[in-house]
Amino acid sequence: MRVLLTGSSGWLGRFLAPALRAAGHTVTGLDAAPGPETHVVGTIASRAVVDRAMGLGIDAVVHAAALHKPDIARYPAQTFIDVNVTGTLNLLEAAKAAGHDRFVMTSTTSLMISEAIRRENAPEAVWLDEQTGPLAPRNIYGVTKLAAEGLCRLYAAEHGLACVVLRTSRFFPEDDDTHKRPSGENLKAIELLHRRLTVEDAAAAHVRALEKAPELGFGLYLVSAPTPFVREDAAALKADAAAIIRERFPHADALFAARGWEMPRSLGRVYDPALAERELGWRAQTDFAAVLEALRTGASLPFAHDPAYTSPLVQGR
């Protein structure tokens, strides 16, 4: 298929474009910032830009473009609405007009995190999956991504445009802007237990969603690395996460210590990607066990970490 990939200059886009080509698709990149995978430079908030890209001959859309949480400090709320909501509507309208039979959108687990969940004051870890709700996003990023999900659901129901929405957990390479300890690679390794996946696995989920969309009609999936925990672990994870990690991974303590890393004292939430595995036939290839194996053998860590990473959109401001 000839695929229009929005957000082609972003972190996900630079991995998703080659993954789509490897699956046999031709990729046309659209992004507000130039990049090696971008053929049309412009904002999806402009219907004229979207139509120009569609005019290049497109069979399906993979919509990964968005303003994200770090952009809250750089852009007003209206710009989030323009890009994340109006931009999604522009793409859906153009896909419907072109007679497409599938549409894939990147969403975020962030919109599932209310202020109460973020504070992690509950007596046990919160188990998050596609049934979690009611949703109360805590910022304009989450609010607009939830609205974009609603548009996809609406176009599937009213116009027969098969849409798959992927709520991706964390895969950004830079440091977390809120956690000071643990940080860096240590934090990312821990997050693969409960709230992270690699960018390569995120790209693979999109490719699979593109293949499966017509038979699904509408699908919404949380995509994250498989967790070694179950719901019954929730209280223990909040009270003493390190103890239950040692139980599941007896060598983790020594491997972490040899690297100068620390184990988490408490985990306040767990993302469950089981539905994506059952219905999409997708499962992340990199998990916490892969991190431990890399530590044991001295191999490179199986996830990207780049504290200096800056998005092309920010670089071009």
Domains of the chain: 2-315 (3.40.50.720)
pLDDT tens sequence for the chain (317 residues): 999 999 999 999 999 999 999 999 999 999 999 999 999 999 999 999 999 999 999 999 999 999 999 999 999 999 999 999 999 999 999 999 999 999 999 999 999 999 999 999 999 999 999 999 999 999 999 999 999 999 999 999 999 999 999 999 999 999 987 777 888 999 999 999 999 999 999 999 999 999 999 999 999 999 999 999 999 999 999 999 999 999 999 999 999 999 999 999 999 999 999 999 999 999 999 999 999 999 999 999 999 999 999 888 888 76
Count CB neighbours of 156 within 10 A.
21
Q: Give the SS3 label for residue 166.
A: strand
Conformation bin of residue 210: beta by default, left when phi > 0, alpha when psi is -120 to 50: alpha
* Six-digit token string for 93: 């309208």
Residue 99 pLDDT: 98
Residue 317 pLDDT: 61
Q: How far is CA 150 from CA 62, 98, 163, 245, in A?
A: 17, 21, 11, 37
Residue 183 pLDDT: 85
Instruction: Give the whole-angstrom CA distance, residue 54 versus residue 97.
Output: 10
Helix-helix angle 252-259:234-248, to 10 degrees:
80
Place of tokens 């802007």: 177
Instruction: Give the whole-angstrom CA distance, residue 218 versus residue 245.
Output: 36
Strand partners, 31: 41
Instruction: Give the whole-angstrom CA distance, residue 18 versus residue 204.
Output: 10
Alpha-carbon 176 to chain mean position: 15
